[in-house]
Amino acid sequence: MSIDTLKGIKVAIVLTDGFEQSEMTEPRRALQEAGAEVFLISPKKDNVRGWTHTQWGDEFAIDKVIENANPDDYHALMLPGGVMNPDSLRINERAIQFISSFVKNKKPIAAICHGPWTLINAEGVKGKEMTSWRSIKVDLINAGALWADKSVIRDGNLVTSRMPDDLPDFNKAMIEMIVDSKS
C-alpha cells in the first residue's frame, strides 16, 4: 500500500484503559502509513493505558473524548481488544451509541481479539461471519454471529481477527476493506 492509499480518510479508534497495546499501535501505524488520519477516542478525558499480555503498558493521549466525538466525522472504526477495554466500553452508553452509528450506516468496522464483544451491544454481529479471541466465541454465537476460527474474516464492511499473532492479516484486510468502501 502506498502512502496515498487512504489519503483523506479519517479512522476512529475507540478504546479505554486495558486495551491490548499491540492491537492498537500496529493497526494505527498501518493506517497512518497508508495515509489515513487516525484518532484515539475514549470515554476518558486525558490518557488511556495499554495492556501488554499480562501487565500494564504505555499511556497514550486521547485525541477526543467520546462525548464530544461525532461519528459522522469518521469514515471507519477500529476496535482493539484486551479484556478490560471492550468489557468497559460495552456498558458505556455513549460508546455504544458511537459504535452503533457505524453499524447502522454500514461504515467499515475492524475489530480484533475481544474487540468484537463491543459490537454485540452495538447490534452489529447478527448474521455476520466473524472471528475473535476464543473466549468470546459463545457470546458472539449467542448474539447471532457465524463464528469461525480463522486469522481474519471479512464480511462486507466488517473485518475481525483473533489475536496479536494475526495482526499482519488483520491490517491488510482492514485497509483493503476501507479502500473498497471508498469506491
Active-site annotation holder among 114, 128, 137, 162: 114
In this predicted model, what pLDDT tens digit does every residue of 46-60 receive, in sequence order?
A: 999 999 988 999 999
Is residue 137 included in any domain, yes or no? yes
Is residue 59 included in any domain, yes or no? yes
Domain range enclosing 78: 10-182
Is residue 129 included in any domain, yes or no? yes
Active-site annotation holder among 11, 40, 79, 113: 113
114 catalytic residue (yes or no): yes
Is residue 27 included in any domain, yes or no? yes
Q: Under 8 Å CB-to-CB from 25, ≥6 apart: which residues?
A: 50
48 catalytic residue (yes or no): no
The per-residue pLDDT for 3 is 73
As for how many domains the chain has, the answer is 1
Is residue 152 included in any domain, yes or no? yes
Is residue 112 included in any domain, yes or no? yes
- The DSSP letter of residue 121 is H
Contact 178, 4 (CB under 8 A): no
Q: pLDDT band for position 1 (50/70/90)?
A: low
In this predicted model, what pLDDT tens digit does every residue of 63-102 receive, in sequence order?
A: 999 999 999 999 999 999 999 999 999 999 999 999 999 9
Is residue 160 included in any domain, yes or no? yes
* CATH code, domain with 37: 3.40.50.880
Q: Under 8 Å CB-to-CB from 13, ≥6 apart: which residues?
A: 24, 27, 28, 38, 39, 40, 41, 77, 78, 79, 80
Is residue 4 included in any domain, yes or no? no
Please give the average per-residue pLDDT across 136-158, as a whole number: 98
